[in-house]
Amino acid sequence: MQEKMKVEIWSDVMCPYCYIGKRKFEAALKDLAQKDSIEVEWKSFQLNPSLEYQPGVNSYDYLARIKGKNREWSEMVHDNLARMAQSFGLDYRFSQTKITNSFDAHRVIQLSKKYGRSNEMEELLFKAYFTDGELISDHATLTRLAKEAGLPEEEVALTLETNQYSEEVHQEMAEARRLGTSGVPFFVFDRKYAIVGAQDSTVFKDALEKALKGWNNK
């Protein structure tokens, strides 16, 4: 029998539902009898790989533009999301978000796996984007956050100065598509069960228990 059962989570650090999904999954995991038998692997996904940094544009402006709606509609959508996030202890400040590309952030997440710090790295990036209004494509910002997550500064610098971990990011996005999803968060349990979206914690708990039952009987 394997030492731990793997749960793979595809996520984009600029996806509001991914941060909420992280909290819902964590709530399910917390109450799980066999939580110490779970290994979580965070995987990279970009909702908009071609997105570029857009100075002065926040989430309200961006969504209104790509959906062809007005600012008031976008504010209503985001305010509903912010209230949902607040119920899980998250502080979404959409007026401060900086629309940019998340590719380099994902490369740093790939590096964090080497040190077993991907959960910490994901958490810091989510907070930086949604709460603190930081530019998560900025290399100085990424370096500071990576150091806070416990990554060696020299390796972070090397990663950001080169194309290191680019292939891994592309491979994981392609893998998600092969598994049948075009959206995130996407949770895969022991390569047997999958959940798309920030479902209720009870849904995650049921999937965890079902997957663990099969894993325990291997």
The candidate with the shortest Cα–Cα distance to 124, out of 112, 199, 114, 7, is: 112
Quick one: pLDDT at residue 182?
Answer: 84
Residues in the chain, pLDDT under 70? 1-2
Quick one: pLDDT at residue 2?
Answer: 61
Q: For 29-64, what is each residue's pLDDT tens digit?
A: 998 999 999 999 999 999 999 999 999 999 999 999
Quick one: pLDDT at residue 1?
Answer: 45
For residue 196, the cross-strand partners are 186
Quick one: pLDDT at residue 151?
Answer: 98
Q: Give 179's Cβ-side CA count (13 Å radius).
A: 23
